[in-house]
C-alpha cells in the first residue's frame, strides 16, 4: 500500500513539473515583427540583449545624432549649464540653407547652455546644435570649432568601442559619412541616460524657457518634444526622434515599468506610423521577456 502511494505521488510530481515547464514555455512571448529594417532592444539595467534585427548594420541616423551632441556637451570638464551663448546669424542662416528643424533661436539673444540642450533635444533644433558645437569646439574660427566638436563626438564613439558609428555633423544632416547602428545608438543613449540633466531633458514633453534678448529684455521660448511616445506609451522616459530623406524614420526610445528600464532603437522605418508601431511592439516585448 505504501509503495502504491509513493508511485502515485511521484507520478503527480512529474505531471506537475511537466505542466509548470509548459506554462513557462507558453509565457515566453514570440519575437515581434517590425517594419523597420533595423532594430535593437536591451535591458538597460543588465545590458542584456532582448531583441535584434540587423542590429549591427550601418545606417543614416538623422537627428538621433543629437544624442551624442548632448552627451559630448554634458561631458565637458567644468561645464556651467547656466553660461550664456549669444545666438549668431550663422546659426539662423544654416537652418534656412538646410531647411532644417529649428528651435527658432533669435539672432542676438543670449541663451544658456541648459536651454540650448532643451532646444536641441525637444524641437530637435539644428540651430541649437550648431550653437553648442561652436561653443564647445576649439579653434580660432567657427569652422575649426565645429570640426573640433565633431571630432570629440567621434573620439567618444571610439572610447565607447563603437566600431560601426561615425559622425560628420553635429545634427545628423550628413555630408555622406554620418552613420551608426541600432546597437551602437542604444549604447550611446544608455550611457547618456546616466547623466541626470540629460534624463530630465529627454523626458520633458514641453517647456517654456525665458531667454535674454539682445536689448537686455526677455522673451519666452516654447518648445514641444518631437517624441510623441512620451504621451502615448506608459512609462516612456525618452529619448530622441530622427528623420530624413535617407534616414527615413528613426527613434531611440526608453521606458521604465516596475523598476525595469528597456532601451532601444529603430532605424529607417518607412513612416512615422510604422515607427511608432514598431517601437511599441519592441517595448512590450522587452517588458514581457
Which residues have C-beta within 8 Å of that of residue 27, sequence separation ≥ 6? none
Catalytic-residue membership of 66? yes
| Residue 240 among known ligand-binding residues | yes
Closest CA to 253 of 286, 206, 222, 224: 286
Options 53, 66, 71, 248, the catalytic residue = 66
Options 63, 101, 169, 180, the catalytic residue = 63
Q: Which residue has the cell 538646410?
A: 98
19-58 burial, b if ≥16 CB within 10 A, otherwise e?
A: eeeeeeeeeeeeebebbbbbbbbbbbeeeeebbbbbbeeb
Options 101, 102, 124, 180, the catalytic residue = 124
- How far apart (Å, rounded) are the C-alpha atoms in residues 275 and 281? 10
Contact 223, 213 (CB under 8 A): no
Q: Which residues are part of a known binding site for substrate?
A: 240
- Catalytic residue numbers read 63, 66, 124
Q: Which residues are part of a known binding site?
A: 240
Amino acid at each position: 500500500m505504501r509503495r502504491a502511494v509513493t508511485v502515485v505521488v511521484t507520478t503527480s510530481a512529474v505531471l506537475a513539473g511537466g505542466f509548470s515547464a509548459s506554462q513557462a514555455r507558453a509565457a515566453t512571448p514570440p519575437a515581434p515583427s517590425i517594419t523597420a529594417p533595423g532594430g535593437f532592444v536591451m535591458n538597460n539595467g543588465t545590458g542584456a540583449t532582448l531583441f535584434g534585427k540587423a542590429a549591427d548594420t550601418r545606417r543614416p541616423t538623422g537627428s538621433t545624432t543629437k544624442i551624442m551632441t548632448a552627451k559630448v556637451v554634458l561631458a565637458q570638464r567644468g561645464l556651467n549649464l547656466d553660461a550664456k551663448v549669444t545666438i549668431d546669424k550663422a546659426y539662423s542662416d544654416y537652418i534656412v540653407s538646410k531647411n532644417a528643424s529649428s528651435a527658432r533661436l533669435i539672432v542676438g539673444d543670449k541663451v544658456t547652455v541648459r536651454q540650448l540642450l532643451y532646444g536641441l533635444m525637444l524641437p530637435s533644433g539644428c540651430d541649437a546644435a550648431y550653437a553648442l558645437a561652436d561653443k564647445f569646439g576649439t579653434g580660432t574660427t567657427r569652422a575649426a570649432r565645429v570640426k573640433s566638436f565633431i571630432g570629440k563626438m567621434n573620439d567618444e564613439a571610439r572610447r565607447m568601442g563603437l566600431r560601426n558609428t561615425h559622425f560628420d555633423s553635429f545634427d545628423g544632416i550628413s555630408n555622406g559619412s554620418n552613420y551608426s547602428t541600432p546597437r551602437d545608438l542604444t549604447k550611446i543613449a544608455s550611457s547618456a541616460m546616466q547623466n541626470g540633466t540629460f534624463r530630465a531633458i529627454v523626458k520633458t514633453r514641453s517647456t517654456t524657457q525665458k531667454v535674454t534678448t539682445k536689448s537686455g529684455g526677455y522673451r519666452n521660448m516654447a518648445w514641444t518634444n518631437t517624441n510623441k511616445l512620451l504621451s502615448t506609451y506608459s512609462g516612456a522616459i525618452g529619448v530622441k526622434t530622427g528623420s530624413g530623406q535617407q534616414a527615413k524614420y528613426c527613434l531611440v526610445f526608453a521606458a521604465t515599468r516596475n523598476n525595469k528600464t528597456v532601451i532601444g532603437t529603430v532605424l529607417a522605418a518607412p513612416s512615422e506610423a510604422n515607427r511608432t508601431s514598431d517601437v511599441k511592439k519592441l517595448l512590450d516585448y522587452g517588458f514581457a521577456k
